[in-house]
Structure 1
Amino acid sequence: MKSLKVENIETPLKNFHAVFKSDEDCLNLLANLKWEKGYKCSKCANTNYCGGKQPYSRRCTRCKKEESATANTIFHRCKFPLVKAFEILLLACQAPAISSYKVSEYLEMRHMTCYNFKKKILDCRENNKDSRFISKLILSINREMNSIK
């Protein structure tokens, strides 16, 4: 990854890679936040589950519907690594003045990918869709990053 020559870029991402080394670390945090009050099937409202086929997914014991940690969140159908999605989320929420072009250079991703995901994040926050979940996720990410000194 390249370094961005933009003020305050290091602040939001400080200790990020020490905490979130892989997509599994991101999935673990997402699953803990998503089901912190317990599992409830989105199809039949059953509260009993077993592990699903994918890591951090859950399968309803009644209707057998499997739900991943990313399902029905802003990361649903995300085609690029979750670590990069978390970085875009942090930058979009904590340093919104940084352009998606600069973010794409930093993450070595296509500009339109970064632009569209950043737009999706900002739209969700403006329309209150997933805004509480996004806020809780940002707080959890910051808490994890601040625990490493």
Structure 2
Amino acid sequence: MLTIFDKINIKEFTTFFNNEEKCLSFLAEEKWKNGYVCKSCGHDKYCAGKTPFSRRCTKCKKEESATANTMFHHCRIYLPDAFKLAHLVCTSPTISTAELSTTLNLRQMTCWNFKKKVTNCIDARQDVSDEGKIMLKEVIMGVRS
């Protein structure tokens, strides 16, 4: 699994995250890499949820999707496009929403809204490297705003 996204270009990134299943798989893997703990009751046992890559607590039956509590929660953009947008914003923070719109074939307002979400996650990060680089993985797993 890729862990450092700032060393790959957009073509490689797009090849790796080319469908929703790969994006959800990555989110689930990263989200629960240290084990699952229910946000409602604190129980650590789960079963598969109704939707792909979601988990359901076996105690309180609360279901949590892979996108819950990430910046992709309730994201209405096709997930691979949202991942690409996040990658573009992290690798070139000064990219305009017009450029994003043209590159991703999305409405400019859609790009503006999601770019704002990404930059809010970046601003909330405390662990920016010495060179000022942002780890996309850390931003992706950031708490939604």
The bucket for the TM-score relative to the shorter chain is 0.7 to 0.9
Please give the per-residue CA displacement for 1:123-146, whole angstroms capped at 9, x wherever unaligned: 1211339x8xx8361699xxxxxx
Query: Which is richer in helix?
Result: 1
- Report the TM-score when normalising by structure 2: 0.80
Pick one of 17, 21, 30 that aligns with 2:18.
Answer: 21
Q: What is the letter of the counterpart of residue 69 of structure 1?
A: A
How far 1:18 moved relative to its partner?
A: 1.9
- Report the TM-score when normalising by structure 1: 0.78
SS of aligned partner of 2:135: helix
Q: State the identity as a percent.
A: 46
Q: What's 2:86 paired with?
A: 89
Residue 32 (structure 1) aligned with residue 19 (structure 2): no
The question of whether the paired residues in 1 share the 8 Å contact of 2:41 and 2:60 is answered with yes
Structure 1 pair 22–113 and aligned structure 2 pair: CA distance change class (3 A): same
Q: What's 2:47 paired with?
A: 50
Moved more, 46-55 or 103-112: 103-112
SS of aligned partner of 1:83: helix
Moved more, 53-62 or 13-22: 13-22
Moved more, 113-122 or 13-22: 13-22
Residue 101 (structure 1) aligned with residue 98 (structure 2): yes
How far 1:22 moved relative to its partner?
A: 0.4
Structure 1 pair 80–136 and aligned structure 2 pair: CA distance change class (3 A): closer
SS of aligned partner of 1:103: helix
How far 1:67 moved relative to its partner?
A: 0.2
Task: Give the Cα–Cα distance (whole angstroms) in 1 for the partners of residues 112 and 85 of structure 2.
Answer: 9
Q: Which runs of 4+ in 1 moved over 3 A?
A: none
How far 1:74 moved relative to its partner?
A: 0.7
Structure 1 pair 139–124 and aligned structure 2 pair: CA distance change class (3 A): closer
Task: Give the Cα–Cα distance (whole angstroms) in 1 for the partners of residues 109 and 24 of structure 2.
Answer: 24
Structure 1 pair 139–113 and aligned structure 2 pair: CA distance change class (3 A): closer
